[in-house]
Amino acid sequence: MHFLPTTARGPIFMLTATCSYVINDTMMKLATEGLPPYEVLFLRGVAAFLLGMPMLLMLGYRTQMHLLFEPRVLTRNLFELVAILCYVVALANMPIGDASALGQITPLLVLLGVSILFGEKIGGVRMALICLGFAGALMVAQPTMQGISPYALLALANAVFCAARDIAGRRVAGHIPGMIVAMSAVVVVLAGAGVMHVSTEEWVAPGPHHLLLLLGAGFFLIFGHFFIFMAYRIGPTGAVAPFYYTFTLWAVISGLIVFGELPNVLALCGIALVVASGLTIVLLDERRRRLTVVA
């Protein structure tokens, strides 16, 4: 990685992470065409566990393995579990671009949550941007007289629980490595998906192509966890965070190339609103931080 310019490493790592997550989602969606969603999530978890544990050992975290079950880490990852249980069903039943776009309101919900829970001031401009982001999410979900699609509601629930996860993540002690937190999430989701599969689904024997897809999904999940962790470690948050929103771009490209799906005009406008509002908030926060440092 040393051949990359220092200032470019964080953004490149974030681009790599978001692309990896979308490849993971794409492989999972393909696998749900023949397998129940929670079985897919469980098998993906097995693959991620088998691939991720050696990575932890290679990174030198052998003596810190007990932190996988540290109470605040577990609390954070229980929210992750509920979020992904909602998301995998939504992903199996709606276009990947739409499902991903609805998840992009997570940072806006985090801002709202910390304001309510911790009394952090949002300000009029940021509140207006949050409202624009929510309006964009509604344009993607496209409610009718019969209400919003249950799968769109699940995608929105994913965003809510991801925001709760990120807020809970603020309570995780700084000495706990990011990869430990990520691997703990893999373990918690693996266990939760197993319980949901046994209690709500019938086992369907996976074919060789299913196993290959889920092995690939597990690999790209760990790859994404690693590079998002490295992005925030190497690059300043203000330089890295805007590239988080490329998640939606990758998802739209995947939907078009792999599934022949393209969001309609209203949904594309909604995606643009969600991304623009989120990016503007990130850039405003970075500008305010720099002004504070100068002062």
What integer is the mean pLDDT of 228-232? 76
pLDDT at 215 over 70: yes
pLDDT at 189 over 80: yes
Please write the tens of the pLDDT for every residue from 109-153: 887 887 888 777 777 887 888 888 888 888 887 776 556 789 999
Determine the pLDDT at residue 133: 84
Place of tokens 């941007």: 129
Determine the pLDDT at residue 115: 81
Q: Could you give the angle at the alpha carbon of 92 between the alpha carbons of 88 and 94, nearest 5°?
A: 110
What integer is the mean pLDDT of 229-237? 71
Please write the tens of the pLDDT for every residue from 29-53: 999 999 999 999 999 999 999 998 9
Determine the pLDDT at residue 55: 85
pLDDT at 265 over 70: yes
- Both structure tokens of 244: 């988080």
Instruction: Give Cα separations from 113 to 39, 151, 164, 196, 254 (angstroms).
Output: 32, 24, 8, 28, 31
Please write the tens of the pLDDT for every residue from 64-108: 999 999 999 999 999 999 999 999 999 999 999 888 888 888 878
Q: Pick the residue with more confidence: 283 or 101?
A: 101
- Percent share of the chain, pLDDT over 90: 43
Contact 195, 82 (CB under 8 A): no
pLDDT category at 3 given cuts 50, 70, 90 is: low
Report the candidate in 34, 155, 26, 161 with the shortest Cα–Cα distance to residue 90.
155
Q: Which residues contact 56 (CB under 8 A, 6 or more apart)?
A: 62, 65, 179, 180, 183
Determine the pLDDT at residue 149: 86
| SS3 labels along the chain | CCCCCHHHHHHHHHHHHHHHHHHHHHHHHHHCCCCCHHHHHHHHHHHHHHHHHHHHHHCCCHHHHHHHHCHHHHHHHHHHHHHHHHHHHHHHHCCHHHHHHHHCCHHHHHHHHHHHHHCCCCCHHHHHHHHHHHHHHHHHHCCECCECCHHHHHHHHHHHHHHHHHHHHCCCCCCCCHHHHHHHHHHHHHHHHHHHHHHHCCCCCCCHHHHHHHHHHHHHHHHHHHHHHHHHHHCCHHHHHHHHHHHHHHHHHHHHHHHCCCCCHHHHHHHHHHHHHHHHHHHHHHHHHHHHHHC
Determine the pLDDT at residue 144: 67
